[in-house]
C-alpha cells in the first residue's frame, strides 16, 4: 500500500512538472489584448509608432519627444502583464517634466501579433531603441527604464551600449528560474525553463548610472533579489538603491518611487 501511494505521488508530481514545462510561457506572460489611443487615457501628446523587429514581427509603441532641450528620453519596458496603456500613470509626470517618453510594445501584447518569448521581447525592445536613436536622440540622452520582467530586457540592452544617460530598474529579479513555483527544485527549474532573463549575469555589463527601486514587502519578487542585483552592478558609473518599507510589487511608484525617479532624472540633466 505504501509503495502504491509513493508511486502515485511520484507520478502526480511528474505530471505536474510536465504540465508546468509545457505551459510555462502562459504562466509567465499575461498580456492585455486591447490598446486604446494615447489621447483616450490622458496622453494626447504621444503618437503611435510601429517598428519591425529583427525577425520581421511588427510591434507598436507610443512616443513623445522631449519638450525641453536639457531633458532626457525615457524608454520604458513594462512587466509581464497588461499593455503600454496601463503605464499611463507613470508616463504622465515624465512628460509633464519635459522628458521624452517611448513606451515599448511587445509581440503578443496590446493587439500586436506574435507570441511572447524572451528572445522575441528582447528583439522588440532593441528594435524600438534603435528606432529612437534613428530619430536623432543620442544614446547619451536616453534612459532605459525596466519594470519587473522589463528589467530583464533593460539589463540586456544596457549592456550593449556604453554611453547611456542612465538605467532605472523597478523590482528586478535575479533570474526568472529563481521565481519558479516552489514545487520545482532550483536545478529542475533552471533545466526546464526556456526563458531566463538573467539579470544576475547581465547587470555586470551595465555601465550607466543606475537607480534601483524595490518594495521591502514585495511578495512576487523578493527584495533580497533587488539587493543582490544592486551589489552585482559593479560596472555602473554610479548606483543607488531605494528599498521602500511597507511597499509591495505594484505600488513602488506611489510610495516614493516616483519622487526618486524624478530626482534621478533631474540629476542626469545637470551632468
Q: Which of 112-116, 224-228, 267-271 has the lowest mean pLDDT?
A: 267-271
Give dist(CA 42, CA 119) in Å, integer: 32
Residue 26 lies in a domain: no
- Average pLDDT over the chain, rounded to whole? 90
Residue 183 lies in a domain: yes
Over residues 203-213, mean pLDDT: 97
Residue 136 lies in a domain: yes
Over residues 63-67, mean pLDDT: 97
Can you give the residue range of the structural domain that contains 157? 41-270
Judge whether residue 139 has pLDDT over 80. yes
Can you list the alpha helix ranges (DSSP code H) found in 135-244? 149-158, 186-192, 199-202, 223-232
Give dist(CA 113, CA 122) in Å, integer: 15
Residue 2 lies in a domain: no
Q: What is the pLDDT of residue 22?
A: 60
Over residues 92-104, mean pLDDT: 97
Range ranked top by mean pLDDT from 4-8, 93-97, 193-197:
93-97
Residue 28 lies in a domain: no
Residue, of 124 and 21, whose pLDDT is higher? 124
pTM: 0.93
Q: Which residues, other chains included, contact 214 with Cβ-Cβ below 8 Å and sequence gap of 6+?
A: 170, 171, 172, 221, 223, 225, 226, 227, 241, 242, 243, 244, 252
Give dist(CA 189, CA 169) in Å, integer: 24
The number of folded domains in the chain is 1
Residue 14 lies in a domain: no
CATH of the domain at 94: 3.40.50.1820
The closest alpha carbon to 221, from 208, 234, 212, 233, belongs to 212
Residue 8 lies in a domain: no
Report yes or no: 206 and 165 within 8 Å, Cβ to Cβ: no
CA angle (44 as vertex; 42, 49 as ends), nearest 5: 115
Amino acid at each position: 500500500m505504501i509503495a502504491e501511494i509513493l508511486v502515485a505521488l511520484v507520478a502526480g508530481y511528474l505530471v505536474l512538472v510536465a504540465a508546468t514545462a509545457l505551459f510555462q510561457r502562459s504562466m509567465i506572460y499575461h498580456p492585455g489584448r486591447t490598446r486604446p489611443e494615447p489621447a483616450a487615457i490622458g496622453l494626447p501628446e504621444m503618437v503611435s509608432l510601429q517598428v519591425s523587429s529583427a525577425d520581421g514581427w511588427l510591434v507598436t509603441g507610443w512616443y513623445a519627444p522631449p519638450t525641453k532641450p536639457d531633458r532626457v528620453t525615457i524608454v520604458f519596458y513594462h512587466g509581464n502583464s497588461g499593455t503600454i496603456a496601463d503605464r499611463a500613470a507613470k508616463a504622465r509626470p515624465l512628460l509633464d517634466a519635459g522628458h521624452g517618453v517611448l513606451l515599448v510594445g511587445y509581440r503578443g501584447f496590446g493587439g500586436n501579433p506574435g507570441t511572447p518569448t524572451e528572445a522575441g521581447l528582447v528583439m522588440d525592445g532593441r528594435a524600438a531603441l534603435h528606432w529612437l536613436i534613428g530619430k536623432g536622440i543620442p544614446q547619451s540622452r536616453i534612459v532605459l527604464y525596466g519594470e519587473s520582467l522589463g528589467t530583464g530586457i533593460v539589463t540586456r540592452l544596457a549592456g550593449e551600449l556604453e554611453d547611456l544617460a542612465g538605467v532605472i530598474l523597478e523590482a528586478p529579479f535575479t533570474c526568472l528560474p529563481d521565481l519558479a513555483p516552489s514545487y520545482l527544485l532550483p536545478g529542475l527549474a533552471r533545466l526546464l525553463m526556456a526563458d531566463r532573463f538573467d539579470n544576475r549575469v547581465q547587470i555586470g555589463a551595465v555601465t550607466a548610472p543606475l537607480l534601483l527601486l524595490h518594495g521591502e514587502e514585495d511578495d512576487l519578487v523578493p527584495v533580497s533579489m533587488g539587493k543582490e542585483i544592486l551589489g552585482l552592478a559593479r560596472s555602473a558609473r554610479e548606483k543607488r538603491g531605494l528599498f521602500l518599507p511597507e511597499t509591495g510589487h505594484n505600488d513602488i511608484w506611489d510610495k516614493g518611487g516616483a519622487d526618486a525617479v524624478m530626482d534621478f532624472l533631474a540629476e542626469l540633466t545637470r551632468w
